[in-house]
Amino acid sequence: MNAQQPLTTREDRELIGSVRAAQRGNREAFGRLVVRYERAVYATAFRQLGHHAEAKELCQDVFVQALRKIRQLPRSAVFRRVAALDHQADGGSIGRCGGRRWS
């Protein structure tokens, strides 16, 4: 069996395309990723911190770090990371983020 699962939907292909384009330095593609995940990241931060301003600040920190490090993300990891973000959008935790350790 192939280790890489086939993309099954147009949305999946667009998401992976955005990640890869962002890795090549395309700021518009990164912006699409931010739009897709900013509510989930903010909601997770707010749920853990309970404070709007701190959650907004942490959300910004998350995306600044993502922008800085997206090129370091190996191609094989793109699928795992995107799946993890989708899991977080469903109420999972984001682990270590912005210097804070979350459960």
Residue 38 in domain: yes
Give yes or no for residue 81 having a pLDDT over 70: no
Per the confidence metrics, is the pTM higher than 0.85?
Answer: no
Residue 4 in domain: no
DSSP string, 2-36: -SSPPP-SHHHHHHHHHHHHHHTT-HHHHHHHHHH
pLDDT of the residue at 12: 78
Residue 1 in domain: no
Quote the tokens at residue 89.
């959008």
Boundaries of domain holding 29: 10-97
Residue 5 in domain: no
Residue 102 in domain: no
Residue 75 in domain: yes
- Rounded distance, CA 3 to CA 63, Å? 29
Q: How many structural domains is the chain composed of?
A: 1
DSSP string, 31-72: HHHHHHHHHHHHHHHHHHH--HHHHHHHHHHHHHHHHHHGGG
pLDDT of the residue at 97: 47
